[in-house]
Amino acid sequence: MQCRDFREISEAYLSDELLVETNLQVFRHMENCRNCRSDFAARRALRKKIRSAVVESPEFVMSNAFERNLAAKLRESAVAKSGWRGFFAMPRILVPTLAALLIAVVASFVTYQYPFTGTTSEFATIGTGLTGYLTEVSFKAIGNHKDCALEKMEKWESGNLPVSEDGMAMADKVIGPLRASFLDDVEILHSHDCIYEGRRFSHVIVRRGGRTLSVFFDRSSESRHLAAEEGVKDSIICNKENGMQVASFRVNGYGVFVISDMPESENLEIARSLSDSMSV
């Protein structure tokens, strides 16, 4: 090591920032170089002098009164902090709370767009995927109701069309709860399978008090997949479009959609009775 090298790293050596190997080189150089040894001693002395001058100077010493006063204020602030001011000063709590609030606002907006009628505990069992599925298929079911049930009403009213065994079984699932709800004032017009916009439904058409009601069962693999929680009663999702009410729910492997032009409460009542009887 040359004297020039030593001067370059002597400050780092003074601050104890060098590697052990380099420290050793510096030490060896100083052993053999009187000038550098002397220079380093002066630098070290200056460092000591700077520290002692500042630390021991009364000018840089905090007053006891200020220290005590500040300590008391800090303690009071830390221990007695409460209320909204304290709450907002705690980012660890504030940030998750604001995040939860934001989620709640978004959820409220979605619920407003797609009204939810179940109880709070029921809502908790529904995932976003299922809610989205029921909402999406609801609008297809409304289209199918118009296209299949209402447009072809004469065809169903004739009563001349045969009903398959599957259709009969499906109609049986529907007629019991409906009669329980509306006494005997219900009539099954027809039960069949139909396809609307690429989705296959089992369709039961019901007449009650001069009004036509459709109950659709989605038989697609998507609904079966979503029905993995067998026997669990989910909430009923309500939607409406062009004066048609649809109440949808999932039960035992099916997405079920009840559609009519009845008031929402009545349509929902039918869906509830179906949901209750089918999930047993």
Partner 1 sequence: MFRGSLFVGKEEKWADFEAEAMPHMNSLFRNAMWLTQDRDLAEDLVQDTMFEAIRSFHRYELGTNCKAWLTRIMHNLNSKRIYKLGRMRVVDDPEDKLAETIPFEPSIPETLTDEEVITAIRKVPDPFRDVILLADVEEFSYKDIAFVLGVPIGTVMSRLYRGRRVLRQELTEYARNYGFGTEGRQIAG
Residues in contact with partner 1 by the rule CB under 8 A: 7, 11-12, 15, 17, 38-39, 41-43, 45-57, 59-62, 66-67, 70-71, 73-75, 77-81, 89-93, 96
> Is the distance from CB of 117 to CB of 238 less than 8 angstroms?
yes
For partner 1, the closer of residues 20 and 80 by Cβ is: 80
Question: What is the nearest approach in angstroms of partner 1 to the Cβ of residue 186?
Answer: 56
Instruction: Report the C-alpha gap between 73 and 82 in whole angstroms.
Output: 15
Distances (CA, A) of 152 to 122, 140, 275: 37, 17, 27
For partner 1, the closer of residues 48 and 211 by Cβ is: 48
Question: What is the nearest approach in angstroms of partner 1 to the Cβ of residue 124?
Answer: 23
For partner 1, the closer of residues 67 and 185 by Cβ is: 67
Question: What is the nearest approach in angstroms of partner 1 to the Cβ of residue 71?
Answer: 7
**Is the CA virtual torsion 133, 173, 182, 273 positive or negative?**
negative
Residues 6 or more apart whose Cβ sits within 8 Å of residue 224: 253
For partner 1, the closer of residues 71 and 104 by Cβ is: 71
Question: What is the nearest approach in angstroms of partner 1 to the Cβ of residue 262?
Answer: 49
For partner 1, the closer of residues 40 and 217 by Cβ is: 40
Q: What is the 3-state secondary structure (H, E, C) of 32-80?
A: HCHHHHHHHHHHHHHHHHHHHHHHHCHHHCCCHHHHHHHHHHHHHHHHC
Question: What is the nearest approach in angstroms of partner 1 to the Cβ of residue 78?
Answer: 4
Question: What is the nearest approach in angstroms of partner 1 to the Cβ of residue 211?
Answer: 55
Question: What is the nearest approach in angstroms of partner 1 to the Cβ of residue 107?
Answer: 23
DSSP state of 152: T
Give kind and range of the element (H or E) at residue 84. Answer: helix 83-88
For partner 1, the closer of residues 14 and 110 by Cβ is: 14
* Rounded (10°) angle between helices 20-32 and 34-56: 120
> Is the distance from CB of 213 to CB of 262 less than 8 angstroms?
yes
For partner 1, the closer of residues 92 and 160 by Cβ is: 92
